[in-house]
Amino acid sequence: MRLKLWPRTLIITILLVLLASLPLLNACAGEEAEEEEEEVVIPPEEEEEFDIVKDAVSAYLSDMAGNTKASDLHMRIVEGDAPYIVSLRSAEDYAKGHIPGAINIKFGDLTTLPENEEILVYCYTGQSASFATAVLGVLDYDVQNLLHGMSSWSTDPNVYVSRFDPATSQGDYTIETTANTATATYDFPELNNTASNDADDITEAAAKTVSPKYITAADLNMKIAEDEDMTIISVRSADHYAAGHVPGAVNISLGTLVNNLNKIDPDAPVYVYCYTGHSAAQAVALLQMLGYDAYSLKFGMCSWSSDTAVNAGKCFDASTAQNYEVET
């Protein structure tokens, strides 16, 4: 009898054990299902300051501010359609004579200008105002630069004060016609201008680092002779670069500047030139915003060579200057 009951008892015992373990198995299965369904959220990486400023510079270069001639500005003033005119000249020179309606501010106060106005900026020769134009343009101001500055508005030396003069501002330094190719690549500078993570704050902080910085043709020629570590950039057209360029210069257009930043050494000075200094000043302002130690060649290729085949005949001509009314 015992032999017959034992298998039955064993089977019943196993069934009871299995039934008792079912809730535990279901609970474990449920926990695994919950773990599988739980979504892991990875916070987005904060964008670096450099990348934010680079994007702002790239956006500006797609629709750059231009230059307004003195004759066009004068016509708008006569017609009562003048923009908000800003003089960046010294307070003393502003008092000697300024364009009618112009206000006088320092370069460092650019960000205090009204945002809803069409702005025209001018200086002595158009170069410092080109720095300002790039800064304001990146900050989304509607801005233009007065071509050749006060030099184009007045023929009175007491009013224009300073201008390009071939007798004193132009040299005849060595030129190259063989193209130079940038082969080395570099990391980008690191920006740390603000603790804010807001893109507008970061862009404005970078804009405030800009200041008009120049190098003369004589000084650049000396640096070349001494084989100093530097980057020289021509932003002139490829044809004019081929006709003659500063020795060692590479040709990078303004429109492709952002795409070629990895060719610029962030640990060495950068010297940029164009025809008269206007476009180079804009390029230098943008490079400074991006953390480069950049300088504009004063008066551009017009200060380097008197050969019109090289300077493209675009130098300021005093005979074209107007003699418009000024206010004191």
- Are residues 145 and 133 in contact, defined by beta-carbon separation less than 8 angstroms? yes
Task: Judge whether 274 counts as a catalytic residue.
Answer: yes
- The one-letter amino acid code at 217 reads A
Q: What is the largest CA-CA distance in the chain?
A: 134
Cβ atoms of 207 and 279 within 8 Å: the answer is: no
* DSSP string covering 274-299: -SSSHHHHHHHHHHHHTT--EEEETT
* Rounded Cα gap, residues 306 and 172, in angstroms: 6
CB atoms inside a 10 Å sphere around CB 275: 21
Written as six digits, the tokens of 312 are: 């493209």
Q: Which amino acid is at 279?
A: S
28, 123, 274, 315: which one is catalytic?
A: 274
Which of helix, strand or coil describes residue 37? Answer: helix
Among 218, 232, 216, smallest CA distance to 127 is for 216
- Residue 251 to residues 48, 221, 225, 287, Cα–Cα distance (Å): 28, 18, 20, 15
Please identify every residue annotated as catalytic.
274
